[in-house]
Structure 1
């Protein structure tokens, strides 16, 4: 029993020292390779504590080796931009001027539901409020509001029918008998009508509409196939917006993070 106590105390002290030498980072800020090293250290430390027949040095030596490897990789990152790119990867633009980067989502294995959830957690419920949304190397989503850049660069959320969000023109909203704008005095939760080329029947039922209605609305915008739609929704102002799969590439074909 006493041997287990001593081994546990030694390994605990070693792990604390190693983690301290690895630098001060929160779990959510760890780079992928740092996260892997942290998990491996915990496993290596647990094995000698559970099995007294397992030599203590066989737990200590690998832990110190991982510390040395982490230190070496960190030094490479400090001195070489190429090493940083290889080890950490690059941030990915997921939204640009309210446009969703479908291919970026696919590359990072993120679906639209997850993206919309992260946006809501950041305090944004309308895509038109977002100028940039960038997935950082540590997995966190950084968002630049559109209004923060409108005064300096003339940016901001798109409004015309030719833009990616496809907001209906004021004239159509006023004159059309099948209006696609919901009259609401207060902001409403966005209702996603089409996602990934599939109709959200629950949202249509909530609005008292059917699939034929959404097809008619899309046809008015010269869209003849629902499968061409990446996302179609009612925004917080009750306005109908949509995005085609290839719209992001047309607008942001050369968008890069330096």
Structure 2
């Protein structure tokens, strides 16, 4: 019995992993109400099937694949049709326009003033009247365009000279060198070892995390 449950769990886990990989990251990175329901059902299919002795591994695979296929079809159709996209994913809604609260839109989306205040505070705005525009996105989060007096100054506003933006590269994680990142950064292990020797570090195993960025150099966190 326990062996059968373990086998079904492994099969269900691997099948879910394959299906989620095929569906792509976007499916669950920005969860809309439809995505939430489909993800919930997908998990319940495996969870319920594991403890139903009448259902075997093949039935689990079949159910997950069919449900995953339905999700894939919906995602494909929403990419092709704006009308279907609005049905399955919803549409962004203005909650504040030109500094004025749109009561009807709040009511339509079941958002009360306390919820609106909370969402704004999470974005760093502690007064409703600091916002010129507030948009309720499809995933339930808000986007805020602040009024001029409350907007953060940009580097252009402050006349700060333009500088090249460089990505940081994690070179060592958990005591192991990340060879791909080292190559992408245009560096090699010989260079890395020289840097470590200068910092009196004799082994990668002493390092919990090391990151290199053009202009900032190599930053190291050792195991405490």
After TM superposition, the score normalised by the length of structure 1 is: 0.54
Q: 1:58 corresponds to which residue?
A: 59
Q: Distance in 1 between matches of 2:32 and 2:13?
A: 23
Give the direction of change, closer, same or farther, for the CA distance of 1:75–1:27 in structure 2 (3 Å limit): closer
Matched with 1:67 is: 68
Aligned equivalents of 2:124, 2:29: Cα separation in 1: 19
TM-score (norm 2): 0.62
**Pairs within 5 Å for 1:115-126:** 115-126=116-127
Unpaired runs of at least 5, structure 2: 152-224
For residues 134 and 28 of structure 1, the distance between their equivalents in structure 2, rounded to whole angstroms, comes to 19
Query: CA offsets, 1:21-64, max 9 Å, x none?
Result: 12114856112222111100111001222233323333322211
Runs of 4+ more than 4 Å apart: none
Q: Identify the residue that residue 101 of structure 1 maps to in structure 2.
A: 102
Match of 1:158 in 2: none
Unaligned regions of 5+ residues in structure 1, if any?
Answer: 151-258
What residue number does 1:132 align with?
133
- Larger RCO of the pair (alpha carbons < 8 Å, separation 6+): 1
Q: Is the contact made by 2:27 and 2:35 (CA closer than 8 Å) also made in structure 1? A: no
CA contact (8 A) 1:28 1:138 kept: no
Asked if the contact 2:28/2:35 (under 8 Å) is kept, the reply is no
**1:4 is matched with which residue?**
5
Q: Which residue of 2 aligns with 1:88?
A: 89
Deviations 1:135-186 (A, max 9, x none): 0111111101121899xxxxxxxxxxxxxxxxxxxxxxxxxxxxxxxxxxxx
Q: 2:162 corresponds to which residue?
A: none
Tell me, in whole angstroms, the C-alpha distance in 2 between the residues paired with 1:87 and 1:62.
Answer: 22
Tell me the C-alpha RMSD between the 2 structures.
Answer: 2.1
Residue in 2 aligned with 1:16? 17
Question: C-alpha separation between the residues in 2 aligned to 1:88 and 1:70?
Answer: 12
Q: Matched residue of 2:55: which SS? A: coil
Matches within 5 A, 1:239-254: none
- Report if the CA contact (8 A) 2:99-2:132 is conserved: yes
1:217-253 C-alpha deviation (Å, 9 max, x unpaired): xxxxxxxxxxxxxxxxxxxxxxxxxxxxxxxxxxxxx
